[in-house]
Every structure is written in C-alpha cells, then in structure tokens.
Amino acid sequence: MTAEPDPAHAVVFPRGMPLEIQMLHPEALRMWGRGGESFYPVLVQEIGRRSLLITFEHVEDPAFRATAVVNRKTGIIEKVAMLGDITVLTEVEIDVPLVRESEPEFVPITDWIRPDY
C-alpha cells in the first residue's frame, strides 16, 4: 500500500534560496521587521545617482545595524552588510534569456579525482 501524496501548496520562491539569490528579490530578505525577524529599516539615503542605502536597526540593540545598497533601476540589492558578513553582487545580468549554448555532458568517473590545489 502506498501513502497518498501531500496536496500541492504554493511556495514563495526566494525563501529557501541562498542570500545571493534572495538579494534579487529584496522583499524576500529577512530584515524588514516582520514576525521573528530582528531588523527593521530606520533610514534610507540616496547614494550617487543610481543607488539607495537602507540602514536597518536591530530590535533589541539600536547600536547594532545592518545596511543594504539597492540599485534604483533594477530594484536589486547589490550589497548587504549584516552580522559581520558582507555580500556584494558584482555581475548581475537582467533580461537575458535562460538558454544554454550547449547541453552539459556527464562522463562516468573511471579514476580517482585528483586534487587541484
């Protein structure tokens, strides 16, 4: 006897993705003061002609802050500094078709994999 499959349910795409992917969907980052999230935005500043700097404050310690730099044209967060880590997106291409130039080829492993240091 087999068990019935779970019913279909909607999943918000960026939530389970790495931080770098979540930065493409800024509203998915866990730093907007919702629920159990520990940061909330306190300041937005214009940086040059194309960026916004958003400063976030920790709920329990106002001296503890995080920042995000948003590209105004694309809406993508290009830099996040939080919890001592800094993540910067350096090469983001938009409106590029998701088509491979060639299909990947998988060859069976026939020998041990040598380290490449």
pLDDT in tens, 42-65: 999 999 889 999 999 988 888 889
What are residue 86's DSSP bridge partners? 81
For residue 21, give both structure tokens.
């992917």
Alpha helices per DSSP H over the chain: 19-22
State the pLDDT at residue 2. Answer: 66
Residue, of 110 and 17, whose pLDDT is higher: 110
Query: Does residue 93 or residue 75 have the better pLDDT?
Result: 75
Report pLDDT for 28.
67
CB 66 within 8 A of CB 27: no
> Could you tell me the pTM of the whole model?
0.62
